[in-house]
A = this chain, B = another copy of it.
Amino acid sequence: MSLPHILLGILAEPKSGYEIRQMFDSSLRHFWFAELSQIYPALKKLEAEGMLTSTTQPSEKGPDKRTYSRTIAGRDTLMDWLSDGPVEAPVRQGILAQIFFMSEQADPEAACRFFQTLKTRFTARRKALEAIEHEWRQECPSYPDDLSDDEFYPQLTLDIGLELQKTYENWCDRAVRRIRARIKG
């Protein structure tokens, strides 16, 4: 049950559903994502529960724009979520399941290709995160030091994102080396 809380977090500044979706796309991508079709009903429900209020104003292009603001109750609910400690996350790593059963496939070359494709994916993600870091350093030369609280904590999520991709990349390399050694040996 994290999405409602994440919406409350994003709505520290008033935003429309459409703008929230853009925020997922730009800043939260590396740890969460939600579609508009999930965001709109979730906002409506939070409003019904008194966590948000909304105002509608005409937009330059397209239909009227509904802007949501967080209430005191909404902020309190967010704070409770944070002080309850780390949430439990269900473990579902389909890729590891594929590798677990890879012996059925019998072809070590196919297994190598699998890990090479995987590495390409992790490298692309790492580079995307490094690009964010690079931009950040342009704007703030002392990065990652001297950040304000509302920059520091997001930076910690960027940090682990990068470290995870590197861990995965090294593992892919190791896996390919070990598979190749098994072919020879």
Contacts and interface: CB of A to CB of B under 8 A. Distances in A.
Contact of A28 (B100, B110, B159): B100
A154 B99 CA distance: 7
A152 B100 contact: no
Query: Which residue among A31, A87, A174 has the maximum number of chain B CB atoms within 10 Å of its CB?
Result: A31
Contacts of A97: 2, 5-6, 9, 28, 31-32
Query: Which residue among A32, A86, A118, A157 has the maximum number of chain B CB atoms within 10 Å of its CB?
Result: A86
Interface stretch (A54-62, A128-136, A162-170): A162-170
Nearest to A160: B171
B9 A93 contact: no
Interface stretch (A14-22, A42-50, A77-85): A77-85
B164 A96 contact: no
Interface in A133-170: 148-150, 152-154, 156-157, 159-161, 163-164, 167-168, 170
- Per assembly, the copies of the chain total 2
Give the size category of A's interface with B. 35 or more
A66 interface: no
A121 B86 CA distance: 9
B110 A83 contact: yes
Interface of A: 2, 5-6, 9, 12, 28-33, 75, 78-79, 81-83, 85-87, 89-106, 110-111, 113-114, 117-118, 121, 148-150, 152-154, 156-157, 159-161, 163-164, 167-168, 170-171, 174-175, 178, 182
B101 A114 contact: no
A105 B89 contact: no
